[in-house]
Structure 1
Amino acid sequence: MTTDAGKKQLDADQDFDITDEMEAKMQARLDGVIKPDDADLEGVPRLEKKNDSKDDSKDDEKNDSKDDEKNDSKDDEKNDSKDDEKNDSKDDEKNDSKDDEDDEKVEYVLPENYFQAMRHVGWEPERIKEKFEEDPEQALKDFKFYHDSQNYITQQTSDLGRTQKAATERATEEAVKKEEKPEFKGVDLKAVEDEFGEDNPAAVAIIKAMNENNKVLYDEVQSLKEVRQQQQGPSDEQKVIWNTIVTHFDSDSMKGFGEFYGKTESGKNWDQSLTGAQLQARMNVIHEADAYHAGMKLQGKDVEFSGALNRAHLVISAPIQETILREQLHGKIRKRSKGITVKSSGRKAVDDTSSKKKDTSEKGFIEKTKQRIKKITGRTPES
């Protein structure tokens, strides 16, 4: 039999053996982990790493796939960005090209004054339109030549008319000065005194008083005659001229010159509706037309006052023709093409010789203007 001491020794040895066995198995497991491809050891379960390897592989594949997708996405974005930049660049180039083309294109406009000038030389509107549409550039050159030529003729004729009118006015003034105004012829008081003074002084005093009263009555009658003459209305010819003037400035052809000539409001006079410059511009046209009309009569040619106004307008408005064309592009016919810039003739408006000495005040200017209009038309603007 085994004694108690022997059992204790056996238990100690057994525990030692178990401990060695466990260490051996643990070592085998570790070896299996480190060397998964080695053969299984007896009594040691092999630690499989295949699943872990597969999982790792899958994770790697997923990560690689994600990286590829990210890289592809970045590449696509870069490519798209480059494509967009190229497209934008092309669009910008196209737009710039279109803008350049638009800049090179200038709209041809037939100025109203050129149109009227061609009408003065006898061209019908249809002929003017055909000529302009056929070759705008050449047409504008030709029309400008006619316009400037017509203005030159108008100015020469007006100068002739002004000279003739000035001579007529001087002759009229001299005739008026020579004409003696009728004076009051009363009783010869000296003769009355010589005859009755000493014998009948009362009668002499009565005669003197009656003579003075008669002189007062005579002066009053003469004043009434002058007022009556001044209050006489304009003649039929003057009425026609005034209506022609009003119609001219209110016509459609003058709409493009609204800032230059102004516009009269309904129920208001010229001096109430127009500025001083606008009133002066209208007066320049009227005086130029009157001078041209007189010049044509001196040559034995009778022209309508409306035609004289149209010609005068072409002369007076010539300096601002370029401004009117540029700001309003006003004309009856328009055509787009590459082209030129239309310039005015550059002539200065004819100075009004009758108004060299002007009242500097606005009120004085308006009053003088009214008198000048009345001299031509027989009426003031408000009548």
Structure 2
Amino acid sequence: MKQIKGPGIFLAQFIAADAPFNSLSGLAQWAADMGYRAIQLPTLNPEIFDLTRAATDLDYCRTVKHSLAQAGVEISELSTHIQGQLVAVHPAYDVLMDGFAPEAVRQNPPARTQWATEQLILAARASANLGLTAHATFSGSLLWPYMYPWPPRPAGLIEEGFAELARRWRPILDAFEEHGVDVCFELHPGEDLFDGETFDRFLTAVKHHPRANILYDPSHLHLQQLDYLAFIDRYHARIKAVHVKDAEFNSSAQQGVYGGYSGWVERAGRFRSLGDGQINFGAIFSKLVQYAYPGWAVVEWECCLKDAEQGAHEGAEFVRRHLFSTSAQAFDDFAAKNSDGDINRRLLGL
């Protein structure tokens, strides 16, 4: 019987200077002790995981996998969210984004883009060396400052933005194709790929590349007031990774979906720990099973109120409660009749 794999947990919010959060073995054991079966692994911290080495050294990959197996977990996906962000950066964000880049490429946007591209290609090789089939990332953004159409945008601006984004991503997608790994873009405000319409534009621009896929995170869709369940119906064939993250949207006389200048606690749209928000995860898991989603259900903890450790502990059990196997038979099979052509004709009055 087929079942979604899980629970997994994204480690980006938990890497820290103190044990057990300062080593891969410590993080793996911490996750396993809470009941997680997999970790989604960021790739910007070489002291935790050395991306360059994983792309070139099969012995290192075997050692990593063995260490994780001893703790009782495996890798669900590698993550290059930050590097993917840096593939395409509008100049308005240069100073902010330089903080994510190595010092050698700061204040040099072309060099920063080249570094980010090389990181993604390393991630393709590393994923293959680790036996992974999906990869989590962001798209970057050239167009986000023009998301709202005022002042009016000149004709062709959006088309050129997506054409340039496609030019930057096409060689990366080809590298992932070479290594048999899907690129899963987390659709996220601040990225050029933030909803279904923008993903469709990108997919057209990259000529429906088979490795251009989606990391489905209902929290980002809900806070934009999209129908996150119908989204699965429409895009299930491209959903190859999933973040299980809750959110709530509470409009007011002061704020709507663009209420982004307030702190997280005061926003109309807020991320919450699993079970504390408004997302219908029962329906989500049912649709993912219906469409035979092949991957992991990975908890991403981001809550404006609850403690991170409590949210992580609760998240493992929350996902386990929502996992179920596909039924091998229909519930009314016990009452089924054997097929008989004569009986069928008699039942039809023929």
Higher relative contact order (CA 8 A, sep 6+): 1
TM-score (norm 2): 0.21
Say which one has the larger Rg.
1
Higher relative helix content? 1
Higher relative strand content? 2
